[in-house]
Amino acid sequence: MLSTKSLGITTIVISSFFTQAITISANIAGGTEHVTLEHRVAFKPRYTTETAKYATIYGKILPNHSQHVASADVRGEYQYSDNMGFYGAIGAVMPVESEHTISQGSFQIQHHVRPTLQVGGYYKIQSGSYIEAGANLSRLPFDLKTTQSGGVFPSFDIETNDLASYTLNANIGLSLPISESLLTTLSFGYGLGFQDTALPVASDISINNVTLLVEPTDTTNPKLGNLMSGKTALTLNRISIGVRYNITDIYN
Amino acid sequence: MLSRGYKTISLLGTLALLAPHSIAKLHIQPKIGFMASMLQLGQSDSQLLPHHAEDSLIFRTYGGETKDGDGKVTNIAPSQGANAAYFPEENALPGSVSKDNQDGASLLQYYAGVQVSYLEENLRPSDSYQFAPVINAYVLVEDGTQANIYSGAYKLDSLTTGGADMGLLITNNGNNLQLGAGGRFYRGEISTGDLFQAMKFVNLDQTGVVYNSVKTLFAKEDNKPYTATITPLFMPYAYVEYSTEVGDVAIAFIKTSYGFESTPEFDDLPDTTTQMFSGDAESFASNSIWQIHSAAVGIQARMFDE
């Protein structure tokens, strides 16, 4: 077990390393993002007799919606050479408008604050500006419920809460210096998707009414109604503008 | 009185004297990159779903008919809605999409343009910021992918188009910030998607159910989707652009724009009986609110700086 003295020395050594080798900064930003839910869906006439034969169309629906967001993160930079280095950041993104009606009025999706992790590399120009490229991994928590009046899944009543999906963005950014410690940043994240999230199957579904949220595996004898895949992938594109304040700076 | 020839020579001479000073401040810089656009589709009021109220277009259960001794039909089983939204039950009101519904599409297009600014740059390094007017004009090359919009109802092709904007350039030691506004013309085609296809391919058991002229409602006989052309739509925006010199010639830039609302119009519409836009394309268009936000990333060059 470390003594108080050893702990103090260790703290000083680690702090010294961080302040001399890593630039630590705080970022705040605001912007707009475009969220896409990707579902596989079977479209077919809803009918109450099984004597009908259907030529089912399996396709993807990609309901999109936009929202304004605010974000904050803490970032560390490690200098690899005079002009180049790596960065990592952890933070959170908060939606300004969290609830949206999507998919021809069929669903309401509600977003929550999400944690993010960024890693990447930067190139520092002599003028003090930065060009950055990297990746941003986010965990998107959301709730999804049917409106019962929508165009695609009318009369269905299903609510699923506490869903979450991981999504990946390719990020590119440019930062311009305002003063020695303050920069303004403009960045764009292009959505790549990453992981499907499994939507829970509603237990009260029967063949004659609702087949929403059921994985459509039986294509030779399709169930009735519009089938929706049990999995959905989320991607998001994001534009943001903000400021970054260097708490410690290895360049100064 | 001066002769016309003398006046011409004098004018050219004056321009020649002024020209070096003027051109010395003019920066014409080609730009190339890509632009990712986020098209946001909203509506100002609830929107009717494709619907046809004629009884003949309703599925009927054939076995539900009963006839008397004269062959007269005395009872018809209730008509069944096919897809409750897209093929409503007999006498049902057409379905509608609520006003607050959102949709959209992501587009990725090549970007090529030119930036013109008027500025006599300070010697570097300099502590002062300089301000100058700046104009951008650009072309966006056709997006090769079809966007799926309105949950499978339509597909959207974004065609080659262009735009322009003007603003204020703020520069210091090769770092540049632009603020301004402008607009782009959105050109595209909208066509019927999977939901219409699903209706088209309905094929019912001969012994159990009959159906009427559903096919003629939703698809042409040659099985191609119906299409409508979007009249070039001016979409205004405000923009912020950051750029920085990465060498003697190259400048890296990121330009983000925030779009304002526009209302589309359609040309080259199919026959109204197709129900492509609830049978009323004009109403569908005037009820639509489109916005486009975008980010362009690329390189510009100091090739024609004087």
- Residue A179 CB coordination number (10 Å): 9
- Residue A203 CB coordination number (10 Å): 5
| B69 CB-near residues (< 8 Å, 6+ apart) | none
CB within 8 Å: A49 and B201: no
**Residue B217 parent element (H or E):** helix B214-218
* More confident call, A83 vs B50: A83
Question: DSSP strand E in B119-249: where?
Answer: 130-140, 146-149, 154-158, 161-172, 175-192, 209-210, 227-245
Question: DSSP strand E in chain B: where?
Answer: 26-43, 47-48, 60-61, 66-67, 73-75, 96-97, 101-118, 130-140, 146-149, 154-158, 161-172, 175-192, 209-210, 227-245, 250-259, 266-267, 288-301
CB A58 within 8 A of CB A40: yes
Q: Measured between alpha carbons, how far is B63 from B45 in angstroms, rounded to an integer?
A: 41
Of A89-93, B47-51, B137-141, B164-168, give the lowest mean pLDDT range.
B47-51
Q: Which two tokens stand for residue B305?
A: 């700086």
- What's the DSSP call for residue B13? H
Chain B neighbors of A129, CB-CB under 8 A = 174-175, 244
Chain A neighbors of B201, CB-CB under 8 A = 55, 57
- What's the DSSP call for residue B88? P
CB within 8 Å: A101 and B98: yes
Chain B neighbors of A105, CB-CB under 8 A = 96-98, 101
Of A25-29, B99-103, B189-193, give the lowest mean pLDDT range.
B189-193
CB B101 within 8 A of CB A104: yes
* More confident call, B97 vs B135: B135
Residue from A44, A39, A171, A186 nearest A107 by CA: A39
Of A8-12, A195-199, B78-82, B194-198, give the lowest mean pLDDT range.
B78-82
Q: Looking at chain A, which residue has its C-alpha nearest residue B172?
A: A127
Find which of B86, B102, B217 to mutate to test the A interface (most A CBs within 10 Å of its CB): B102
CB A174 within 8 A of CB A187: yes
Confidence of residue A39 (pLDDT cuts 50, 70, 90): confident
Chain A neighbors of B40, CB-CB under 8 A = 34, 64, 66
Q: Looking at chain A, which residue has its C-alpha nearest residue B209?
A: A52
Q: In this prediction, what percent of chain B has a pLDDT beyond 90? A: 45
Confidence of residue A18 (pLDDT cuts 50, 70, 90): low
* More confident call, B291 vs B20: B291
Q: What is the pLDDT of residue B63?
A: 35
| B89 CB-near residues (< 8 Å, 6+ apart) | B58, B78, B79, B80, B81
* More confident call, B68 vs A78: A78
Confidence of residue A58 (pLDDT cuts 50, 70, 90): low
Q: Give CA B243 to chain center in angstroms.
A: 27
Complex ipTM over 0.90:
no
- Residue B52 CB coordination number (10 Å): 20
A191 — contact with chain B (CB < 8 Å)? yes
CB within 8 Å: B102 and A101: yes
Q: Which two tokens stand for residue B213?
A: 């002229």
- pLDDT tens across B200-259, in order? 544 444 333 334 334 334 444 455 678 899 999 999 999 999 999 998 899 999 999 999
Shortest Cα–Cα distance, B68 to chain A (Å): 25
- A103, A125, A151 ranked by CB distance to B95: nearest: A151
Q: Which two tokens stand for residue B112?
A: 């090529």
Q: What is the mean pLDDT of chain B?
A: 77
| A61 CB-near residues (< 8 Å, 6+ apart) | A39, A41, A103, A152, B148, B151, B152, B194
CB within 8 Å: B103 and A65: yes
Task: Indicate left, alpha or beta for B6 from its phi (over 0: left) and psi (-120 to 50: alpha).
Answer: alpha
Question: Per-residue pLDDT averaged across A201-212, rounded?
Answer: 41
CB within 8 Å: B152 and A155: no
Residue A246 burial (CB < 10 Å; 0-12/13-18/19+)?
Answer: buried
Chain B neighbors of A226, CB-CB under 8 A = 83
Q: What is the pLDDT of residue B124?
A: 86
Type of residue numbered A169: N
- A66, A173, A175 ranked by CB distance to B104: nearest: A66
Q: Looking at chain A, which residue has its C-alpha nearest residue B48?
A: A151
Q: Measured between alpha carbons, how far is A145 from A102 in angstroms, rounded to an integer?
A: 10
| B5 CB-near residues (< 8 Å, 6+ apart) | none
Q: What is the pLDDT of residue A232?
A: 77
- pLDDT tens across B244-277, in order? 999 889 999 999 999 999 999 998 887 766 667 7
Residue from A239, A107, A184, A167 nearest B292 by CA: A239
Question: Per-residue pLDDT averaged across A39-60, rounded?
Answer: 54
Shortest Cα–Cα distance, A225 to chain B (Å): 8
| B154 CB-near residues (< 8 Å, 6+ apart) | B190, B191, B192, B193
Find which of B101, B170, B217 to mutate to test the A interface (most A CBs within 10 Å of its CB): B101
Q: What is the pLDDT of residue B17?
A: 41
CB within 8 Å: A237 and B36: yes
- B96, B203, B252 ranked by CB distance to A55: nearest: B203
Q: Which residues pair with B181 in a beta bridge?
A: B166, B238
Q: Measured between alpha carbons, how far is B85 from A140 in angstroms, rounded to an integer?
A: 30
Question: Per-residue pLDDT averaged across A162-188, rounded?
Answer: 93
CB within 8 Å: A57 and B59: no
Chain A neighbors of B258, CB-CB under 8 A = 32
A125 — contact with chain B (CB < 8 Å)? yes
Overall pTM > 0.90:
no
Q: What is the pLDDT of residue A244?
A: 97
CB within 8 Å: B147 and A62: yes
